[in-house]
Chain A
């Protein structure tokens, strides 16, 4: 997660639902109607790189009723809803992470650091451990007949998110190189 990391930039561009805590003139273009004001309690989808800052920085204490309320309030997104959490708890391996969000781990980690969410971290740890075992299984077995028939790698491969794909590719490469070296020596 560094400044020039492409995956990090892409993950940051994912939109999160936010609720505004203030009336702000001129910001209507966030909602789609340019030139208008944004109203208090308006629900807007903001990219994470913007929402993260706005959720931390507070409005002017003199204007707001409670002083240090931040500009927006981040609301729990779909990808972290109880439904998904329960699905993870019940069976991480069968979960289609890619369809939930292609940068699931990166976003979940960002969310957990933003809110200090211990439960989420625990669930993620469990999920990553379970799934990485499966990834290791797939990476270390080069199924020749499957490779020969084409790129049909089974349904599990299609459910990986970007981070897991990287993990899979690297471990697969190292396994493949190792086997090649042993055979061709």
Chain B
């Protein structure tokens, strides 16, 4: 006869780590709750604790999604702000450490201990530099990928400036990307105008004419096939109302494929090939990942 005491053990576990986590979250206080004031401690525990490692994982997820999705995804403003600040700080940190490393041998030159010291200092420095390079590569690749998409959909993105759209352009793009988009499309337009368009009859001079035989504004391929990995909600399993349980006891998200009028189950931990517009909402809510 077994008595299940897992929850009691979990309770004890939580108690021992409670102090630790509260310290952490207080330290990150000023960055965590921008714009939300008056949170009592009970609520505080549910807030995601911001850490450099967590942020990097999120950045990787954003990077992968951006690389594989056909549309331009919203820009992660806060995340990028934090990451860029950290890159700057780490850069300065490395600078400082390497300065110290240069000074060290001159101070106590002859002793063998100092050369040993210098050697042991070198490894962390190398690691830090390599790690920074890795992070910077991801950032650069992420931004370049977004720029390529901005080029491709520049006419389509223009429509986002209208009043009726859900997402304003400033949410979708960062400040620098906005500037790039504006100026790049202006340059393109100028080139086309000078080269060809001014020789055309006036009614054919528009570059965003959608009434002709072929649409000129390129929309993202909404129903392109993508590979998805279903990772489910973070930590708490019962928090998501969309999650259901099938007869095998596995949790899944029901999605409907419009054209075929068909239901499909995305079980957690599974890998699927799906049309992008079917899983788009789940991607934006971070329940599935593109791979």
Contact = CB atoms under 8 A, between A and B. Distances in A.
Q: Do A and B bind each other?
A: yes
B138 to A, nearest CB: 19
B213 A2 contact: no
Interface string A31-57: 000000000000000000100110000
A115 interface: no
B213 A52 contact: yes
Contacts of B216: 3
B213 A3 contact: no
Contacts, number: 11
Q: For chain A, which range describes its interface: under 10, 10 to 19, 20 to 34, or 35 or more residues?
A: under 10
Contacts of B213: 49, 52-53
A53 B214 CA distance: 11
By Cβ-Cβ distance, the 4 closest A-B pairs, closest first, are A3-B216, A2-B218, A3-B214, A53-B213
Interface string B200-218: 0000000000000111111
A3 B217 CA distance: 8
Interface of B: 213-218
A114 to B, nearest CB: 12
Contacts of B215: 2-3
Contacts of A49: 213
Nearest to A2: B218
Contacts of A4: 218
Contacts of B214: 3
B150 to A, nearest CB: 16
Contacts of A3: 214-218
Given A2-B215, A52-B213, 9 more contacts: A2-B218, A3-B214, A3-B215, A3-B216, A3-B217, A3-B218, A4-B218, A49-B213, A53-B213
B223 to A, nearest CB: 13
B37 to A, nearest CB: 48
11 contacts: A2-B215, A2-B218, A3-B214, A3-B215, A3-B216, A3-B217, A3-B218, A4-B218, A49-B213, A52-B213, A53-B213
Which of B213, B214, B215, B216 has most chain A Cβ within 10 Å?
A: B214
Nearest to B209: A3
A14 to B, nearest CB: 15
Contacts of B217: 3
A4 B213 CA distance: 13
B132 to A, nearest CB: 24
A49 B216 CA distance: 15
A67 B213 CA distance: 23
A69 B214 CA distance: 23
Nearest to A53: B213
Nearest to B207: A3
Interface in A44-77: 49, 52-53
Nearest to A52: B213
Interface in A1-24: 2-4
A167 to B, nearest CB: 14
Contacts of B218: 2-4
Contacts of A52: 213
A4 B192 CA distance: 13
A49 B213 CA distance: 8
Interface in A136-157: none
A2 B216 CA distance: 7
B54 to A, nearest CB: 30
A53 B213 CA distance: 7
A8 to B, nearest CB: 8
A3 B208 CA distance: 10
A53 B211 CA distance: 13
Nearest to B215: A3
Nearest to A3: B216
B24 to A, nearest CB: 39
B253 to A, nearest CB: 28
Interface string A150-185: 000000000000000000000000000000000000
A2 B218 CA distance: 6
Contacts of A53: 213
Contacts of A2: 215, 218
A4 B151 CA distance: 13
Which of A3, A4, A49, A52 has most chain B Cβ within 10 Å?
A: A3
Nearest to B216: A3
A116 B153 CA distance: 30
A49 B217 CA distance: 18
Nearest to A49: B213
